[in-house]
Structure 1
Amino acid sequence: MAYFIGVMSGTSMDGVDAILADITTQATAPIAATHVAYPPELLSLLHQLCDTTPNEINLMGQADRLVATTFADAVNKLLLEQHLSPADIMAIGSHGQTIRHYPNGAPSATGSTGFTLQIGDPHTIAALTGIDVVADFRRKDIAFGGQGAPLVPAFHAAQFAAEGRHRVIVNIGGFANITVLQGTDRGLISGFDTGPGNVLMDAWCQLHCNQPFDESGTWASQGVVNEPLLNTLLADPYFSQTGPKSTGREYFNLKWLQQHLAAFPPIEPVDVQATILALTATTIADAINALPAIHECYVCGGGAFNQCLMTRLDRQLPSVSVAPTTALKLPPQWVEGVAFAWLAWAYLHQVPGNVPSVTGAERAVVLGSFIPAG
C-alpha cells in the first residue's frame, strides 16, 4: 500500500475536502474522505481576495496561513477517522485555494504577464500534519506557456480511459471543465473550461434565498428559462473561443450577470436561476455535441448532485449517456481530491502532470513543489 492524501478547495469555496487514496503504478484506489468547512471569517476574507481590495498583501498573507491551517485540520481529521498516523502517508497533494486566475494577463494591466495564484502555505500544512507536502501545481504549467488549468485531465486519463471507449469526463465545480478521452491514447486527450459551473447559481441563490447553493436545483426547477437572457449570456465571446482556455471568478461573477440583466426588464429571481442553470448545461452540452463520436459522459463535482442540472444536461445530449462518476467506481465529490493525491504521486515518480493539448503548455512537465515535513 502507498497512501496519499489529496486536499483541495475549489472555486465554490464550500470548504476543504481531504481524500485518502492508495496509489501505485498499476491503480489508484480511493479509500475515504472527509470535509472541513471554512470558518465564516475566513470565507469572507477569501471572497474579499477574489477582487481588488485595500491592503491585499496583508490580507493574502493572513489568509495563506489560515487556509493552510484549515487544510491541515482536514488532513488530521481524516487520519483520526481512519486510525492512521502521519508515518502511514507518503505525501499530501495540496491544490490550495485559488484567489486569482489570469493566465492571459490581468485586463487592467497593459502587456501584463499571465499568472495564477493559489494560497494555503504548504510549509504550514507540513508542520501541522507531520507529512511531506507537494503543492503549487499550476504555476509550472503557466511557466511553460500553459493556462495552468484544467489540471485534472491527466488523472482522468489514468483513472477513466478505457480501450475502445470515447468518453467525456465533466467536472462541475464553481466552473465546469471537460476532459475528452478517446480510448487509452494519451496523445488524443483534449479538454478545457467550458465556463460557469455552479458559481453563478450559488451567488444568485445566496443573494435571493440567503442559501449558499440551490440544493438539487430545486429552486431553479420552479422557474422558467428566459430565452432572450440565455441567448444574450451565450453570446459572451468566451464561449466561442477554442481551447486551450480556462476561466474563473475574475470573469464570470455576479457583476457579470447583473450587467447583462440591466439590459432587460425585471425578471423574476427564480427565472434567472433557471436561466443560469440552463447556461451551465448548454455550454457543457454545446462543447460535447461539437465532438465526434462521443457516447459516454460522466459527471463529477458538486454539479453531479444538482438533479435539475443533470436532467437538463441529459436532455441536451440526446445521443450520449449521462451518469455520475459513481458508475466508474469513484464518487463525484471525491474525484478532484483524488486527482491531487495522484498529482503528488506523479511528482514523487517524476510523471508529467499536465496535458499540453489541454493547457497549451509547450510540453509535458512534472508539476509541483516538494515541502518536507522535517
Structure 2
Amino acid sequence: MRVLGMISGTSHDGIDVALVDFDPAYDGGTLSGVVELTAATPYPDRLRARLMNALPPAVTTLAEVCALDTLIGQSFAGAAAEAIGRAGPVDLVVSHGQTVFHWVEGAHALGTLQIGQPAWIAERTGTPVLSDVRSRDVAAGGQGAPLVCLLDVLLLAGHRGTAAALNLGGIANLTVVRGPGDVAAYDIGPANALIDAVVVNRGLNERGFDEDGRVAASGTVDEGLLAVLLDHPYYRLPLPKSTGKELFHLGHVEEAMARAGARPGSADLVATLTELTVRTVVREVAASGAGLLVVSGGGCRNPVLMDGLRRALPGVTVRLSDAYGAPADGKEAIAFALIGWHTAHGLPGSVPAGTGARAARVLGTVTPGAAPLVLPSPAREAPRALTLTPRRQEPEAGTRGTGRHGGSVGGRHGPG
C-alpha cells in the first residue's frame, strides 16, 4: 500500500512529504516499507507571512481562519500533486495540515486545531485523504501528541536497553522506549521556536532561522536570563504533556528578559535560547537513562545545538534517524504515512503510554477521492516492529530539505 504523508510543523515554513510503499503481504510481526520519496515545498512568502500574523498571541478573525484553511489546503494539494507526479499514484494521502492552535490548560489538552482543507487535496489528486488525525486522541483524554511516538516505538523495537527518539522541530519532543509496553513520550519544550522568533523579529536571517547555528556560535550565553527561562512552570508539569507556540513565542522571551533585567544583544540572545534547548533536552535524556538517542527534525542540522547535546551526553550514542531508514528531514511525514496505514487497516494509530489517552484509537477522518472508497481488509494484529528502506532519489530543482534550521538542501511539530 502506497501512502503519502504530509505535514507542516511548528516552524510554519512549508510542507514536508514522504511517500512510503508498505508491504502488501504484511501478516503480523514486522511491517516493512520502502521510503520512495521525501521532499519539501516551501509556503509562498505571502502565505507564510499571513499565517504567522494570525497565530497566537495575535488576534485573528473567523474570516481569516477560513481563508487560511483554503489557501493552506490548496498548497497541500499542490505538494501532493507534485509528489505523485514524481513518484506515481498512491492509495492514500495523509494530511496532518497546519497546527494553528493546541488548547492546553495545565496538564490537560482540551482541543487541537489543524487547518488545510483536505477537500482540495482529494479534488486535485483524486485520492482519498485522511486528515484531522489528532482530535480523536484528545477526545479519548490524550494530549493528541506526540503522535510520532508510534513510529519511534516500532523503529526502536529491536534495540536492547533504553533508547530515546528526539525530534527537534519548533518544539522538541521525546519518545523513551525501555521495552515492549514501557514507553513515555511528551513535548520537552521549545527546540527552534524561540530561536526562530528572535531571528525573524530582529531580521537576523532572511530565511527566518539561525542557519548553521552561525548567530548562536558568535554569541555568549546569558546565564541570568537562561536561569529565568529554565524556571518556567511547564518544565515541571507531570507527564504526559504537550505544548506549542501558544506558550513558547516571542512574548515569552520578552517577558523572561524583563524578569531577568537582561538586554542581551542579538547574538547573545540566540546563543542563550539555543542553550535553553540543549539544557532542557539533556535534562530529560539523562533522566531517562537512555544509552541511545536518535535525532530528527530541522534542529539536527544546527551544529551548535547538536555539539551541545553531544558534549553534555558523553555516555549516550547520538545518531540521526537516517540510520534507521527514516531520513531526519522527513521523519514526521513518514510517521503520518504510517498512521494512515494503520487507519486504513483498522488499527489504532496512537500510543496511550505516550499521549495519555484512555486507550488506543483509530485516528483521522477520511475524505473520499474520485472513485468509491475501498479500504484494505482489516489487519489481524498491529505491527510490533518496522523496518524502513530508503530508495535513493535525485534532488529536484525547486525543492529544499526540512533541515532548514541547519541550512541543508535535500529531500519536520505543533506537536509531533
Equivalent of 1:215, from 207, 211, 214?
211
Aligned AA for 2:85? Answer: L
Q: Distance in 2 between matches of 1:288 and 1:34?
A: 29
* Partners of 1:104 and 1:147 within 8 A in 2: no
Secondary structure of the residue aligned to 2:248 is coil
Equivalent of 1:118, from 103, 114, 123?
114
Alignment partner of 1:369 is 2:374: no
Q: Distance in 2 between matches of 1:89 and 1:364?
A: 27
Cross-structure match for 1:5: 4
Could you say if the C-alpha distance between residues 113 and 171 of structure 1 is closer, same or farther in structure 2, counting changes exceeding 3 Å? closer
Give the superposed CA RMSD.
1.7
Cross-structure match for 1:271: 268
Could you say if the C-alpha distance between residues 162 and 21 of structure 1 is closer, same or farther in structure 2, counting changes exceeding 3 Å? same
- CA drift at 1:54: 5.8
Of Structure 1 and Structure 2, which has the larger fraction of its residues in helix? Answer: 1
Q: Distance in 2 between matches of 1:50 and 1:247?
A: 14
Cross-structure match for 2:13: 14
Alignment partner of 1:302 is 2:294: no
Secondary structure of the residue aligned to 1:114 is strand
How many corresponding residue pairs? 361
Matches for 1:143-154 after TM superposition, within 5 Å = 143-154=139-150
Secondary structure of the residue aligned to 1:230 is helix
* Partners of 1:11 and 1:173 within 8 A in 2: yes
* Partners of 2:297 and 2:331 within 8 A in 1: yes
Structure 2 length-normalised TM: 0.84
Equivalent of 2:258, from 256, 262, 271?
262
Moved more, 313-322 or 272-281: 313-322
Q: Distance in 1 between matches of 2:294 and 2:197?
A: 25
Aligned AA for 1:49? Answer: A
Cross-structure match for 2:175: 179
Cross-structure match for 1:39: 44
Unaligned stretches of 5+ in structure 2? 371-416
* Partners of 2:84 and 2:90 within 8 A in 1: no
Equivalent of 1:290, from 263, 287, 292?
287
Alignment partner of 1:198 is 2:195: no
Secondary structure of the residue aligned to 1:69 is helix
Matches for 1:75-90 after TM superposition, within 5 Å = 75-82=80-87, 84=88, 88-90=89-91
Secondary structure of the residue aligned to 2:332 is helix
- CA drift at 1:52: 5.8
Could you say if the C-alpha distance between residues 266 and 104 of structure 1 is closer, same or farther in structure 2, counting changes exceeding 3 Å? closer
Q: Distance in 2 between matches of 1:175 and 1:55?
A: 23
Secondary structure of the residue aligned to 2:176 is strand
Q: Distance in 1 between matches of 2:320 and 2:293?
A: 8
Aligned AA for 2:248? Answer: F
* Partners of 1:104 and 1:115 within 8 A in 2: no
Q: Distance in 2 between matches of 1:105 and 1:169?
A: 25
Q: Distance in 2 between matches of 1:145 and 1:310?
A: 34
- CA drift at 1:163: 4.2
Secondary structure of the residue aligned to 2:11 is coil
- CA drift at 1:265: 3.6
Aligned AA for 2:314? Answer: P
Q: Distance in 2 between matches of 1:128 and 1:105?
A: 41
Q: Distance in 1 between matches of 2:262 and 2:40?
A: 42
Aligned AA for 2:9? Answer: G
Structure 1 length-normalised TM: 0.93
Secondary structure of the residue aligned to 1:154 is helix
Q: Distance in 1 between matches of 2:140 and 2:70?
A: 28
Matches for 1:282-361 after TM superposition, within 5 Å = 282-292=279-289, 294-361=290-357
Moved more, 153-162 or 228-237: 153-162
Alignment partner of 1:103 is 2:68: no
Could you say if the C-alpha distance between residues 53 and 14 of structure 1 is closer, same or farther in structure 2, counting changes exceeding 3 Å? closer
* Partners of 1:34 and 1:74 within 8 A in 2: no
* Greater RCO (Cα-Cα under 8 Å, separation 6 or more): 2
Cross-structure match for 1:109: none
Equivalent of 2:61, from 48, 53, 56?
56
